[in-house]
Amino acid sequence: MSRQLNVAVLGATGAVGGEFLKLFESRSFPVGKLRLLASERSAGRRLPFRGEEVEVEAVRPESFKGIDVAFFSAGASRSREFAPHAVAAGATVVDNSSAFRMDPDVPLVVPEINFDAIPEGCRLIANPNCSAIILLMAVHPLTKLGRVERLVVSTYQSASGAGAAAMRELEEQTRDVLEGREPRPQVLPHVYAFNLFSHNTPINEHGYNDEEWKVIHESRKILGMLDLRINVTCVRVPVLRAHSESVTVEFVGEAPSEEAVREAIRRAEGVRLVDDREHNVFPMPLAASGIAEVLVGRIRRDISHPSAVSLFVAGDQLLKGAALNAVQIAERLLAAGRL
């Protein structure tokens, strides 16, 4: 990756935006010119990058002139407004919002799973929902062991999934409770410290919240299994960073052995087997925080169902669940001579 790229980050002052800057440095992403974009409210802030400070600019339609690749993480409405301008200016956009994920003309990509879904000349690529990425990094290796018929998933989602403000709120509420003060929710709808609650997104007519609905439909699109049966329950838990998931995978016919599942995980790119029964060490959000791999363990046959295996997964929502996945897409495009 010797070619230098002109790079823009929209949403640079948010939690995911900060991770982009760290990843550009740690992965030696070939940034030539860097343009940091955000709302008018954040314009003028200066963010550190490679020993210097870069000023944040207010995003405008003309902000993408001369940009090779733009990473968007500023919400769906901003993406719908500015992605067309970026593409028209010649940039390749990797969008971390929900704006284009289910558009049939926009590839929804986890590079280890379906990088080939990006057609030649494509300028707009959707980054999936964080919970869907973490789930499928564990499930995709198992699809090579037999035909998967159904997934049953429960998520344990950290504050990082709701952004930097939610992370601060969890810290502040925890201090309030420990010091005898009444915690007052402002970012999230319920007291967060020492509590958990259904994911804070609207409930649809089927009784599923938006997060659950995203995981169901995005997983089908990414795997190319549009009839895959999936049931998901998404819960917000008082963990600062990294999401965890309990997953049961039902196969057509007899389930693979535990050792076959472990070997599939060992061999898979981007995941790490953490499955130490003797010492009761399995995936944990603290262990997953700050690392690139998704942790997979608690592997066992489901004694209630001869065709099912169960596992537990943890992954950093800000990294593989967001910024890292987007950067990996760009890295592969660059390696293929498509940037």
Q: Do 120 and 207 lie in a common domain? A: no
CA pair distance 6, 27, nearest whole angstrom: 16
CA pair distance 90, 83, nearest whole angstrom: 11
Q: Do 294 and 154 lie in a common domain? A: yes
Which of the residues are catalytic?
A: 130, 243
Parent domain of 70: 5-128+322-335
User: Cβ-count burial of 189 within 10 angstroms (0-12 exposed, 13-18 middle, 19+ buried)?
Assistant: exposed
CATH number for the domain that contains residue 77: 3.40.50.720
Classify the C-alpha dihedral 92-98-101-106 as positive or negative: negative
What local confidence, expressed as pLDDT, does residue 52 receive?
94
* Terminal alpha carbon distance of the chain: 10
Q: Do 33 and 63 lie in a common domain? A: yes
Q: Do 242 and 293 lie in a common domain? A: yes
User: Cβ-count burial of 220 within 10 angstroms (0-12 exposed, 13-18 middle, 19+ buried)?
Assistant: middle
Q: Do 219 and 263 lie in a common domain? A: yes
Q: Do 145 and 210 lie in a common domain? A: yes
What local confidence, expressed as pLDDT, does residue 164 receive?
85
Q: 16: which 2 tokens?
A: 């995911």
Tens digit of pLDDT at every position of the chain (339 positions): 468 999 999 999 998 999 999 999 999 999 999 999 999 999 999 999 999 999 999 999 999 999 999 999 999 999 999 999 999 999 999 999 999 999 999 999 999 999 999 999 999 999 999 999 999 999 999 999 999 999 999 999 999 999 889 999 999 999 999 999 999 999 999 999 999 999 999 999 999 999 999 999 999 999 999 999 999 999 999 999 999 999 999 999 999 999 999 999 999 999 999 999 999 999 999 999 999 999 999 999 999 999 999 999 999 999 999 999 999 999 999 999 999
Q: Do 161 and 123 lie in a common domain? A: no
**Model pTM score:** 0.95
Q: Do 99 and 147 lie in a common domain? A: no
Give the number of residues written for the chain.
Answer: 339
Q: Do 231 and 270 lie in a common domain? A: yes
In angstroms, how far is CA 109 from the centroid of its own chain? 11
Classify the C-alpha dihedral 154-156-159-160 as positive or negative: negative
Write down the H helix ranges in 32-161.
Answer: 76-88, 111-114, 130-139
- Nearest Cα neighbor of 7 from 131, 282, 25, 315 is 25
Q: Do 141 and 118 lie in a common domain? A: no
Q: Do 124 and 198 lie in a common domain? A: no
CA pair distance 256, 225, nearest whole angstrom: 20
CATH number for the domain that contains residue 184: 3.30.360.10
What local confidence, expressed as pLDDT, does residue 2 receive?
63
Write down the H helix ranges in 89-141.
Answer: 111-114, 130-139
Q: Do 254 and 295 lie in a common domain? A: yes
Strands (E), the chain: 5-10, 31-38, 46-49, 52-58, 69-72, 92-95, 124-126, 148-157, 197-198, 229-236, 243-251, 271-273, 294-301, 308-315
- The total number of structural domains in the chain stands at 2
